[in-house]
Amino acid sequence: MLVQLTCGLRRLVMSWLVLVLVLALAVALVGLGAPAATAAAAFPTAAGVVGRLVTLQGVYTEIHGAPARPGSTVDTDTPLFELSTGGRHYRLKFAHEPHVRSRATITVTGVLVGHTIDVTAPGSGVAQVAAPAPAPSSSATSTGAAAGAAVRTGTKSLLTINLTWPGAALTATAPAEQNFLFGADRRSLASYYREVSYGQLSWTGTVTANLTGTDPGSCDLTALSDQAEAAATAHGYTPAAYDALIINVPSLHCPSAGYGEIGGKHTWIQDGLWNLADGYAREVATHEIGHSLGLYHSHGLECGAVTVSLNCLTNAGTNSQEYGNAYDLMGNNWPGDAHDAVTWFSAQQELTLGWLSGSQVRTVTTTGSYPLAPLEQAGATTPQVLVLHSATHSYYVEYRQAIGQDAFLSGYPAATNSIHISVNNPGSTDTGPYALDFTPDSNLGPGYQDWYDAPLTDGRSFTDPENTFTLAPVAGGSVAVTFHTTGPSS
């Protein structure tokens, strides 16, 4: 009897063990597509909201907005952050922007509430697992542009998803959007990119009918993109088949009129894509596509009453005017906005995109006079950017003229009777250039007017703060360079 009872207990224990193992396996399989919870079931966020602690690995993406309209003092650059994993998208909440490049693979631990992961809660953190994929060409990195910057050439496809909800409509019609994005008009988005890429990038695409969704009620771009893609798929479109997506909605409920993933495929536009006679409307769409191509903003180095000092340059991230460059699409474009125009990218951004290469780029290492062709000139046989290196930084020198998309520069002689100089910030994950202002504090009003006269005019010179070289523009676009006894860094 005792033996039978013992055998029975053994069978019961073995049955329970098998059941536990089966359940554990099931949980593990489900966990491959869902957040993995840690020991406790509930954790408070920094705001006191109860969620659960999760650890996920996926692709990290930064989302940045367009500048405000000319004259506005609204701060439109509140960056947003996203994690993509297993076909799901999560918003990330940080106390401070992480030192991670957009499109890197990361592991993040935080408190999950809805589809937001709070990385400010106790026990939270983020770690990079893999850097963004390297560029397919070395031309950009050899001239000082950021490693990992993608070269964008060929024909790219763009799907525009129009999403509305009850009580809110879009101004644009499908024909107007087709013309705005892909039309033959030189002001269309496709025409702009064809010109500024020297014919190396073309856009084609599709515009959806107005699809019905739900008003998110707050600035929730992740929710908007999820429901827009679901609605498009339900109506026979295939978002995954396109290189880029524009999601056009009646309201973003965000500070900016447009947002874009840096190196990602999503851009968001607030009731736009129809008015080619509005320079700002054109700028928002082209700017956000610039983000999707991997670009950060084009900043201004703000050093107060001086152009640059070594301390200011060393701490460029904290001495930055976010959209400071007035003559760069990824800057503020305010001079262009006033003339229904969208300015070119600056030379460093062109390098990052791989559109300037070979004989168009000259790295200067010796004293001499160096001619520059206008950045806007197609088929130039003279270099269009000079690159000079100090011990710690790289400087980019360009010459601009009133050509093509930049025709409006005829009204801004400070931009054409001069050379434009920008510098990189090698210690930052933000690869955007920093324009130097050679007439600092000339306009102390609100906004970006102080940067309209930033370029270095004829008759003046510039010596870098490490005393490596002196630059002086010569009428007609040439630059006189003198290296000091220390010489350039190797």
pLDDT in tens, 369-414: 999 999 999 999 999 999 999 999 999 999 999 999 999 999 999 9
Q: List, in sequence order, the alpha helices (H) in 136-220.
A: 139-142, 174-182, 189-196
476 pLDDT band, cuts 50/70/90, is confident
Determine the distance from the C-alpha atom of residue 242 to the mean position of all C-alpha atoms in its chain, rounded to a whole number.
Answer: 19
Angle between helices 174-182 and 189-196 (to 10 degrees): 10
Query: With 0-12 CB in 10 A as exposed, 13-18 as middle and 19+ as buried, what is 447?
Result: middle
Task: Please give the CATH architecture assigned to the domain spanning 37-130.
Answer: Beta Barrel (2.40)
Q: Which residues pair with 43 in a beta bridge?
A: 51
Least confident of 21-35, 171-185, 192-206, 293-307: 21-35
Residue range 153-292, CATH number: 3.40.390.10
Q: Which stretches within 98-206 are classed as H helix?
A: 139-142, 174-182, 189-196
Give pLDDT, residue 49: 66
- Which of 39-43, 382-386, 441-445 is predicted with the least confidence, judged by mean pLDDT? 39-43
Closest CA to 243 of 300, 202, 191: 202
Please check the confidence at residue 74 and state whether its pLDDT lies above 60.
yes
Among 29-33, 157-161, 296-300, whose mean pLDDT is lowest?
Answer: 29-33
The pLDDT score that the predictor gives to residue 139 is 34
Rounded mean pLDDT, 171-193: 97
pLDDT of residue 445: 80
Q: Tokens 């950017």 label which residue?
A: 385
Q: Are 250 and 57 in contact (CB under 8 A)?
A: no
pLDDT higher than threshold 50 for residue 19: no
Cβ atoms within 10 Å, residue 215: 16
By the 8 A CB rule, do 352 and 145 touch? yes
Task: Give the separation between CA 429 and CA 160, rounded to whole angstroms.
Answer: 30
Q: Which of 16-20, 87-91, 136-140, 385-389 has the lowest mean pLDDT?
A: 136-140
Residue bearing tokens 């980019």: 396
Structure confidence at residue 359 (pLDDT)? 95
- Is residue 312 within 8 Å of 301, Cβ to Cβ? yes
6 has pLDDT over 60: no
Candidates 440, 148, 167; CA nearest to 295 is: 148
- Asked if residue 353 lies in contact with residue 453, where contact means CB atoms within 8 angstroms, the answer is no
Q: Write down the residue that tokens 């396996």 correspond to.
A: 25
Q: Which residue has the tokens 């998110």?
A: 216
pLDDT of residue 48 exceeding 80, the answer is no
Q: Does the structure show a pLDDT above 50 at 268?
A: yes
In the chain, residues under CATH classification 3.40.390.10 are 153-292
332 and 346 in contact (C-beta within 8 Å)? no
pLDDT at residue 157 above 80? yes
Q: Is 287 helix (H, G, I), strand (E, B) or coil?
A: helix
Asked if residues 221 and 252 have their Cβ atoms less than 8 Å apart, the reply is yes
Instruction: Give Cα 298 to chain centroid, integer Å.
Output: 10
Residue extent(s) of CATH 2.40.50.140 domains in the chain: 37-130
DSSP 52: E
448 token code pair: 């970006």
Nearest to 51 by CA among 109, 126, 125, 127: 109
Rounded CA-CA distance 165/30 in Å is 34
Kindly state the percentage of the chain with pLDDT values over 70: 85
- Tokens 């290196």 belong to 389
Mean pLDDT of the 131-153 span: 50
The closest alpha carbon to 403, from 421, 383, 379, belongs to 379
Give how far the C-alpha of residue 374 lies from the chain's centroid of Cα atoms, to the nearest Å: 25
The model's pTM is 0.86
Helices (H) and strands (E) counted in the chain, each on its own, are: 10, 25
- With a cut of 60, say whether residue 8 has pLDDT above it: no
Map residue 302 onto helix, strand or coil.
coil
- 234-260: burial string, b at 16+ Cβ within 10 Å, e else: eeebebeebbbbbbbbbebebebbbbb
